[in-house]
Amino acid sequence: MTFDFETGTAGGAAGVAQAPGCGDARALCVPATIESLEPVAGFVLGLGERARLPESSLYRLRLAADELATNIVLHGYHGEPGSITVDGGIDPGQVWVRFQDDAPAFDPRQGMREPARDVPLEERQIGGLGVFLAFTAVDVFEYELVAGRNVSTLVMRRPAAE
C-alpha cells in the first residue's frame, strides 16, 4: 500500500485535540469520543475526493468508516478514555483507510450478519445490521490484531483512468 499523508487534517482536526499518546503527525489521531467522528469523516472524505472516487463509492466508503469509528467509540472503549488513529492512502487501483485502536480485541466481522429478510422488522434481533451494511459497502474489509491493537482496513477500488 502506498501512503498518502497529504490529507490536510493529518495530525489533528479543527476543534478536536490530538489524543494523548498519539505521536504520528502523518495520521489523524483523535480521542475516542462522539465529537471526533466528524473529523474522522472529514479525513475519509478528503482522501476519497483526492482519489477522485465516484460519488457512490465515496458515500459507501464514508458509511463504512462512520460505522467502524462509531463502533470503536461506543462498543470498543465503552465510554472509557482511548484514541483512534486513522491513516490512509491512494494507490493506482484503490483507496484504503486504516483504523487502529487499543480497545479490547474485537473483530468487527463477528457482529456482521445478513438481515433475516423473512422475519418481520419488529421481530428481528437488534444489532449487527449497520456492520453488515457498512462492510458489504466497501470492496475489501480486513481486520487483524497487531501487538494488542485492533487494526481494521477499508478498501475501495478506483475506476480505471480515462
pLDDT digits (tens, 9 = 90+) for 7-27: 333 434 444 445 555 655 569
The 8-class DSSP code of residue 10 comes to T
Distance of CA 139 to the CA centre of its chain: 13
In this structure, are residues 134 and 64 in contact, taking their beta carbons and an 8 Å threshold?
Answer: yes
84/21 Cα distance (integer angstroms): 11
Cross-strand pairs, 140: 155
Q: Count the neighbouring beta carbons within 10 Å of the beta carbon of residue 58.
A: 19
- Which whole number is the average pLDDT over 143-152? 96
100/83 Cα distance (integer angstroms): 8
The set of residues, in sequence order, having a beta carbon less than 8 Å from that of 113 and lying 6+ positions away, is: 128, 132
pLDDT single digits (tens) 83-119 = 999 999 999 999 999 999 999 999 887 766 666 667 7
pLDDT single digits (tens) 24-43 = 556 999 999 999 999 999 99
CATH code assigned to 28-157:
3.30.565.10
Sign of CA dihedral 71, 72, 73, 74: positive
127 or 135, which is more confident: 135
Cross-strand pairs, 142: 153
pLDDT at 159 (0 to 100): 84
pLDDT at 54 (0 to 100): 96
Query: How buried is residue 139: exposed, middle or buried, by Cβ count under 10 Å (0-12/13-18/19+)?
Result: middle
pLDDT single digits (tens) 46-95 = 999 999 999 999 999 999 999 999 999 999 999 899 999 999 999 999 99
Domain spans of the chain, in order of start: 28-157
pLDDT at 15 (0 to 100): 42
Full-model pTM: 0.81
Dihedral, CA of residue 81, residue 104, residue 48 and residue 139, to nearest 10: -160
